[in-house]
Chains A and B, each alone.
Chain A
Amino acid sequence: MSARLTLMAAPISVIAGGAIVALVAAQTPQTDTGFVTLPATRLTYQLPGEFTKNGKPIANPSTTVSVNAFAIMADLVSVGDFKRCIAERACPGNRDIGTRDDRPAVNVSWRDASAYAAWLSAKTGYRYRLPTDEEWTRAAGERGSGDLPQIEAGDEAARRLARYEQEFGREVDPVTRPLGSFGRNVHGLNDIGGNVWEWTDSCYARHTANGTSSVVTNCGVRVVAGQHRAYVTDFIRDAKSGGCSGGKPPANLGFRLVRDTRWQDRLKLLLALRT
């Protein structure tokens, strides 16, 4: 850690974005996997959560949002990576993440993933965090998908039966494979939409519209992204037999992290380390 501090100390006096960016480039992240940097963009995407109108469920509306630039891991966090966090006692011991180091860490809760992100940040001096649902969708590119289609027609029972068919429609083989096995997407990220669903920081929300509009947010349940969206309670590691607030259960729960690249964040971190 001290070697890194001296490296950082030198350019502190040069408060120019360029020098800070160069500093970022010189440092290698804790993990061996690469990062993909995505420029800022406007993204049209389906809002997460549940939407009801006059007491009846409706399809999630789409909207256009601005997404800032960010860097995201090209690979899911691996078993090997997560074991290091456990070894340093910064992540809870978890025998179910997998045994092969080159596979994605699975049976990981949002709390586990957040602990990992905090550990990696402290260790490297970067700010690592889970992506928001917008950032994940942006990074997922052609492999992004929203919620399973909302069934609006029919009575409660017909809708429930139709949802049941959806949930059991596509069986996914849950056995994890080496990182990269599900291929690269258009932005160069591996395994998007494979058999590992990824935690985001976005909270579950129910939007009701019946005369007035209102939103009730529950951050005890987070949006999980993958082949389709799911909403999973934050301490759940294995969503297969429930623990889901809604949506077809994910075959596996894992994650990848975003690394903030804004020079303001870099500077804040450097100044914090200095004092």
Chain B
Amino acid sequence: MNRHLKIAAGLALAVGMMAQAAPAQELKLPREKIDLVAPPFVHAFDQIAKRGPAIKEFKLTIEEKKMVIDDKGTTFQAMTYNGSMPGPLMVVHQGDYVELTLVNPDTNMLPHNIDFHAATGALGGGELTLINPGEEVVLRFKADRAGVFVYHCAPGGPMIPWHVVSGMSGAIMVLPRDGLKDGNGKSLRYDKVFYIGEHDLYVPRDENGKYKDYESAGDAYNDTVEVMRKLTPTHVVFNGKVGALTGKDALTAKVGETVMIIHSQANRDSRPHLIGGHGDHVWETGKFANRPETNLETWFIRGGSAGAALYTFKQPGLYAYVNHNLIEAVELGATAHIKVEGKWNDDLMSQIKAPQPIGQQKAAEAKPRPQMAH
């Protein structure tokens, strides 16, 4: 589609929508500008709202970029919000208004938009935010439901799945104004938040089985759709790359600390599991009006949703947080590591007998003891 036609279509859409809508309400509410932080970390926020509802201002700049997605140097034509896969986590309180400035710099080649699962109407905001390279738009929506919700690009038709599996998704957390509570109404507090965005990627291969490299997303499109239609990803990654949250980028915590792990998957089912730990309180479907599940071993993130889990570490050492389809975890990349410092608790777990040859202990016991009285 040529550029002029694209712009005309966008304009017609915008004019059409404006003609139907009432003029935007002037809200007499305080404003707060929030600087977003790259995942897996989150911008500072109050767990319990200190003031009344406000207009929270955010800015997302779209960046189409070639990224390396594994340790073999496989390249990927990614589409990102703010340069990261996933886009950053936003945090507001129920009753706040989210005012998002979405920017599509003219260094990009494609139109993009945003669909907030937390918002109501206009395809989640997608119909009101379609912008061409060189344009920006401001959308305001009321965060009237509490929970963690996916946001993603949805420019229309086959572009929707393609943009999403190119990395263009993130999440927003809408907290109850009086914070999180367990099923009995008791307040739940946490020391740290990790946001883990999982992406299923579909990278085409050449006739020798090697992953292909492309100069632009447009060049990759047709081959990529062929792989997508087989519904079998070549990579399943946390934070945009195999091993992104391991090694020097492993997450850290301490015994006694409570962490919240927010997990989003905008396209495909996942089932997170903390190896060596549990989910003390888990909002599996991600919506805080529902009481959390407790003491879970593994929970389920439906494709197209986000969930949140709280866990207080009881034991030091190395933990792996995985998508518990273990093929996806190990072969395709869906693994993160958490290093936890503290004192080992022997009561919770002890190695009673170290590995040794079978029957060795019995042989030692069978040795005749000296000084036996007859």
A interface residues with partner B (beta carbon < 8 Å): 52, 55-56, 95, 99, 155-158, 160-161, 164, 168, 171, 174-175, 206, 208, 210-212, 214, 216, 240-242
Q: List the A side residues contacting B184 at CB < 8 Å.
A: none
Q: List the A side residues contacting B247 at CB < 8 Å.
A: 168, 171
In-complex Cβ contact of B356 among A168, A171, A208 (8 A):
A208
Q: CB distance B317 to A208 under 8 Å?
A: no
Q: Is B364 an interface residue (CB 8 A)?
A: yes
Please report the number of residue pairs spanning A and B whose Cβ atoms sit closer than 8 angstroms.
Answer: 64
In-complex Cβ contact of B363 among A56, A95, A99, A212 (8 A):
A212
10 A-B pairs within 8 Å (CB atoms) are namely A55-B353, A56-B354, A95-B209, A155-B343, A156-B344, A161-B317, A164-B250, A210-B356, A216-B356, A216-B357
Q: B interface, by DSSP: helix, strand, loop or mixed?
A: loop
Closest 3 A-B residue pairs measured CB to CB?
Answer: A157-B317, A55-B354, A168-B247
Q: List the A side residues contacting B364 at CB < 8 Å.
A: 211-212
| Nearest B-chain residue to A242, judged by Cβ | B330
Q: How many residues of B contact A (CB 8 A)?
A: 31
Q: CB distance A155 to B344 under 8 Å?
A: yes
> A55-B351, A155-B344, A164-B339 are known contacts. Are A212 and B71 too (CB-CB below 8 A)?
no
B interface residues with partner A (beta carbon < 8 Å): 71-73, 208-209, 246-248, 250, 315-318, 330-331, 337, 339-344, 351, 353-357, 360, 363-364
Q: List the B side residues contacting A171 at CB < 8 Å.
A: 247
Q: List the B side residues contacting A155 at CB < 8 Å.
A: 316, 343-344
Q: List the A side residues contacting B337 at CB < 8 Å.
A: 164
Q: CB distance B316 to A158 under 8 Å?
A: yes
> A95-B208, A155-B344 are known contacts. Are A174 and B72 too (CB-CB below 8 A)?
yes
- Measured CA separation A174–B243 after assembly (Å): 15
- Measured CA separation A56–B364 after assembly (Å): 18
Q: CB distance A160 to B360 under 8 Å?
A: no
Q: CB distance B363 to A156 under 8 Å?
A: no
Q: CB distance B318 to A164 under 8 Å?
A: yes
Q: List the B side residues contacting A214 at CB < 8 Å.
A: 356-357, 360
